[in-house]
Amino acid sequence: TVFEASGGQEFRAIDEQFFSPPYDVNSLGLFGQLRWEAQDWLLVTGGLRYEQIELAVNDYSPLDVPALGTIEGGNITLDDLVFNLGTVVDLTDNLSGFANFSQGFSAPDFGRLLRFPPQGFVGVERSIDITEPVVIDSYELGVTGEWETVQFSLAGFYTYSELGENVRQSDAGPFLVLERSPTRTYGLEAALDYQPSEDWGVGTTLSWVEGGSNPETDNLDEFVALSSREIQPLKVSAYVENQTLPNWQNRLQLLLVGGRDRALEEGIDTRAIDSYVTLDWISSLNLGQGVLTLGVQNLLNNQFFPVDSQLQRRNSANAAALGRTVRLEYRVRW
């Protein structure tokens, strides 16, 4: 197709360039964690972690943004001390509540940052507001229950970073850039398992996440949607399993991935996410010294496009997932 569209031109390789400039990253982490059983019904945990990340890159010219000319390289060191604190309270013999606070520390995506420099990026050392680390405060609150035939968990979480890392479509071309701005996410996670008999088990899980960022400095209360590259749509799973024989187990599992159009409506993504469903079957047999497993993915042979594929701008990259796929393996542990 390319050959015909070009009028029969033949392309010759005359040079090589790096899509992303070469760079070196060194990291160091030191941590300590404490566990304290304050009472029979109260557990407290806490810890500290020191992180250090070093980046070194030479001067370079961005391959996809040649108008920027030469970008100043340099060496930067990112470091911080983060901590975590959590508690578990036994409400009854079968019911427990928990609360956690933790901080995360990471470097921005240097590869994407260097090959697609955002507006205002003049150098690794001079644009320190862009290369600054990502520090995230995370809060989690939940409850768990465990009985003889029923187990469940329910948790809600909230995260916030004063200088988050978000992928945005560039206004200067068909590529993605990193945006550093206040970012928050929030969501719910739930799981339920039930064993109606010794041979049967059923269960389900749910995961819902949303979030936004604030790229504007004049309105600190206004958050726009995060891209579906960073926020996965609603996920619901369910399974039924059976101990068919003492050494033979079968499991049927379903996954529903919901749709998401908030990022499209707010001009962040160029496409909405369509929902899809997959069904898998797994059969395991204890045989000899190992386990023989037969798995069939996408049992109904549905055609669907994974989330990452749906977000691609080029049709050539918008590929469907594999159809019905059969896998046979034998695993031995010693």
Question: What torsion do the CA atoms of 302, 306, 307, 308 make, to the nearest 10 degrees?
Answer: -160
Instruction: Give residue-wise pLDDT tens across range 49-77.
Output: 999 999 898 888 777 666 667 788 888 88
Query: Taking 60 as the threshold, does the pLDDT of residue 222 lie above it?
Result: yes
pLDDT at 118: 67
Q: Which of 7-11, 116-120, 173-177, 271-275 has the highest mean pLDDT?
A: 271-275
What mean pLDDT comes out for the span 12-25? 79
Q: Please give the model's pTM, rounded to 2 decimal places.
A: 0.81
* Amino acid letter for position 291: V
Instruction: Give residue-wise pLDDT tens across range 257-314.
Output: 999 999 888 888 888 999 999 999 999 999 989 999 999 999 999 999 999 888 876 6
pLDDT at 219: 64
Query: What are the domain boundaries of the chain?
Result: 1-179, 195-334
pLDDT at 66: 63
Q: How far is residue 326's CA from residue 308's CA, in Å, rounded to a whole number?
A: 23
pLDDT at 138: 97
Residue percentage of the chain with pLDDT more than 90:
54
pLDDT at 134: 86
Instruction: Give residue-wise pLDDT tens across range 129-184.
Output: 666 788 999 999 999 999 999 999 999 999 999 888 776 666 655 455 667 788 99
Query: Taking 60 as the threshold, does the pLDDT of residue 78 lie above it?
Result: yes
Q: Are 319 and 304 in contact (CB under 8 A)?
A: no
What mean pLDDT comes out for the span 190-212? 97
Higher per-residue pLDDT: 2 or 155: 155
pLDDT at 5: 62
Whole-angstrom CA distances from 226 to 181, 182, 184, 208 are 11, 11, 9, 14
